[in-house]
């Protein structure tokens, strides 16, 4: 029997570091039956070199847990960026700074087939591809190898993603690079691409749009919207642009299942990164709970990011970002407002059956069974966001 044992479904985050380092290319990912994957080694080819074990952040982590130096409530001064972002657009500020130094930015995008994956960009026109949260596990492929290549070429690299994707990268690299900046997020957990595909199929979203926005708001909050190509009413009638059409809350049960935690990856329930000590240079999030105890004197309806500045490298970097408006707050406030900064999402009793049921059940029966039917509050929230959009 092969002595090499990689992660089981309770640990594996699908970072793909093991696959990327294996000299024999004898690891493949197999489906756990839930739309998530675990590695399987072809024992006939494996030479038991242990490279995969050493590259795995769940088995041999090479990460430093750092106590944040500063907690910022912040937003970008660029109005277009702020509108396109989920919270205050902290990500876009970091990305613009790196791109202005001829750097490369990695992050998650959604392609026109509604598949979420990591890509790199090297010009500011493409920032929009990475903006906005996609509440689907992002496919990494050979991204870590690409990062290493850019670092070796001495390009400045900003890598953004879930904390486990950063932990995976740092352990894969095994070496500290001054030209690497990492930014993770406070992370609730990830649903699989398959869960999202099923949702799109069942709600007729697939093939009726070019993208899906999970946070379509002129105000701050959650709202699912289809991105549809439509003709611009202008001098050039052949040109097109994307307009966003809000999905009726009745059909937007994916967001409610996500927020409730009904379809997370098994490994999210033992996540190693839901602590106030952070493995990345920066951590971004929505600033929930802002001003709950100590007043915050600015309007927040356009979205506010929480940005943790986790080390001196990040401090130096942020001091050179004039596009960022910020006020320093306390880490305690941020932790109080965002439970995934201090503990894992709870594993609900109905999680396993929901993942199976969502594939076969009719949506109305599904939402009733799992208590995620739309409520009056969903419609009122929509109304509030529409009112806020008129204030912007």
Residues that bind ligand SF4 (CB under 6 A): 4, 6-7, 12-18, 22-24, 26-27, 39, 41, 46-52, 55-56, 58, 162-164, 168, 187, 189-190, 265, 267-268, 271, 273
Q: Based on CB atoms, which residue is closest to ligand FAD, 40 or 330?
A: 330
Instruction: State how far Cα 248 lies from the chain centre.
Output: 24
Partner interacting with residue 6 (select from ligand FAD, ligand SF4, none; CB below 5-8 Å by kind): ligand SF4
CA angle in degrees (0–180, nearest 5) for 224-225-228? 160
Least distance from C-beta 62 to ligand SF4, angstroms? Answer: 12
Partner interacting with residue 15 (select from ligand FAD, ligand SF4, none; CB below 5-8 Å by kind): ligand SF4
Partner interacting with residue 13 (select from ligand SF4, ligand FAD, none; CB below 5-8 Å by kind): ligand SF4
Least distance from C-beta 32 to ligand SF4, angstroms? Answer: 11
Beta strand extents in 77-224 (DSSP E only)? 104-110, 116-121, 157-160, 180-185, 211-213
Q: Based on CB atoms, which residue is closest to ligand FAD, 115 or 210?
A: 115
Angle between helix axes 193-202 and 351-360 (nearest 10 degrees) is 40
Q: Based on CB atoms, which residue is closest to ligand FAD, 51 or 348?
A: 348
Partner interacting with residue 285 (select from ligand SF4, ligand FAD, none; CB below 5-8 Å by kind): ligand FAD
Partner interacting with residue 247 (select from ligand SF4, ligand FAD, none; CB below 5-8 Å by kind): none
The two tokens of residue 124 are 């500011």
- Count of H helices and E strands in the chain? 14, 13
Q: Based on CB atoms, which residue is closest to ligand FAD, 22 or 290?
A: 290
Least distance from C-beta 185 to ligand SF4, angstroms? Answer: 8
Q: Distances from the Cα of 52 to the Cαs of 169, 232, 277, in angstroms?
A: 13, 51, 26
Residue 160 CA to residue 97 CA, distance in Å, equals 14
Give 289-341 as a DSSP string.
TTTSSS---S--TT--EEEEE-SHHHHHHHTT-TTEEEEEE-HHHHHHH-GGG
Q: Based on CB atoms, which residue is closest to ligand FAD, 35 or 132?
A: 132
Q: What are phi and psi of 225, to 5 degrees?
A: -145, 145
Least distance from C-beta 157 to ligand SF4, angstroms? Answer: 20
Per-residue burial over 297-314, b = 16 or more CB atoms within 10 Å of its CB, e = otherwise: eeebbbbbbbbbbbbebb
Least distance from C-beta 342 to ligand SF4, angstroms? Answer: 13
Residue 222 CA to residue 216 CA, distance in Å, equals 7
- The residues that touch ligand FAD, with contacts defined as CB under 6 A, are 85-92, 107-108, 116, 130-136, 138, 160-162, 185-188, 190, 284-286, 288, 305, 338, 340
CA torsion, points 374, 375, 379, 381, in degrees to nearest 10?
A: -110
Partner interacting with residue 88 (select from ligand SF4, ligand FAD, none; CB below 5-8 Å by kind): ligand FAD
CB half-sphere exposure, 274, CA atoms < 13 A: 16
Least distance from C-beta 76 to ligand FAD, angstroms? Answer: 8
Partner interacting with residue 86 (select from ligand FAD, ligand SF4, none; CB below 5-8 Å by kind): ligand FAD
Residues in the chain: 392
Partner interacting with residue 286 (select from ligand SF4, ligand FAD, none; CB below 5-8 Å by kind): ligand FAD
Closest-approach residue to ligand FAD (CB) = 107
Least distance from C-beta 143 to ligand SF4, angstroms? Answer: 12
The two tokens of residue 360 are 């076969």
Q: Which residues pair with 245 in a beta bridge?
A: 226
Residue 333 CA to residue 337 CA, distance in Å, equals 6
Least distance from C-beta 264 to ligand SF4, angstroms? Answer: 7
User: CA nearest 272: which of 127, 166, 114?
Assistant: 166
Partner interacting with residue 58 (select from ligand FAD, ligand SF4, none; CB below 5-8 Å by kind): ligand SF4
Least distance from C-beta 23 to ligand FAD, angstroms? Answer: 28
């Amino acid at each position: 029997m092969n002595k090499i044992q990689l992660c089981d479904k309770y640990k594996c985050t699908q970072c793909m570091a093991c696959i990327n380092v294996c000299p024999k290319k004898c690891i493949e990912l197999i489906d756990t039956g839930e739309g998530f994957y675990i590695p399987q080694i072809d024992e006939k080819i494996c030479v038991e070199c242990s490279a995969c074990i050493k590259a795995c952040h769940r088995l041999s982590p090479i990460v430093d847990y750092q106590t944040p130096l500063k907690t910022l409530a912040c937003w970008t001064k660029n109005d277009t960026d702020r509108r396109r972002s989920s919270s205050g657009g902290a990500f876009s500020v970091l990305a613009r700074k790196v791109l202005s130094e001829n750097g490369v930015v990695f992050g998650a995008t959604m392609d026109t087939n509604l598949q979420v994956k990591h890509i790199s960009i090297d010009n500011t026109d493409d920032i929009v591809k990475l903006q906005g949260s996609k509440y689907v596990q992002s496919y990494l492929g050979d991204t870590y190898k690409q990062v290493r290549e850019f670092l070796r070429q001495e390009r400045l690299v900003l890598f953004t993603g879930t904390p486990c994707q950063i932990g995976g990268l740092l352990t894969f690299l095994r070496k500290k690079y001054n030209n690497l900046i990492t930014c993770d997020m406070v992370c609730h957990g990830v649903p699989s691409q398959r869960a999202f595909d099923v949702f799109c199929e069942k709600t007729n979203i697939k093939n009726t749009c070019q993208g899906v926005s999970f946070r379509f708001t002129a105000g701050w909050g959650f709202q699912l919207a289809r991105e549809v190509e439509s003709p611009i009413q202008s001098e050039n009638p052949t040109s097109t642009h994307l307009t966003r059409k809000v999905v009726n809350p009745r059909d937007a049960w994916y967001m409610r299942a996500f927020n409730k935690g009904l379809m997370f990856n098994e490994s999210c329930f033992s996540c190693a990164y839901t602590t106030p000590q952070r493995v990345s240079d920066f951590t971004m999030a929505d600033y929930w709970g802002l001003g709950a105890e100590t007043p915050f004197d600015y309007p927040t309806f356009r979205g506010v990011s929480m940005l943790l500045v986790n080390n001196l490298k990040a401090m130096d970097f942020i001091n050179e970002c004039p596009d960022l408006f910020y006020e320093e707050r306390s880490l305690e406030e941020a932790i109080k407002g965002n439970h995934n900064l201090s503990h894992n999402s709870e594993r609900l009793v109905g999680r396993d059956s929901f993942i199976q049921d969502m594939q076969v059940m009719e949506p109305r029966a599904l939402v009733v069974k799992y208590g995620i039917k739309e409520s009056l509050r969903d419609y009122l929230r929509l109304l509030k966001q529409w009112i806020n959009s008129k204030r912007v």
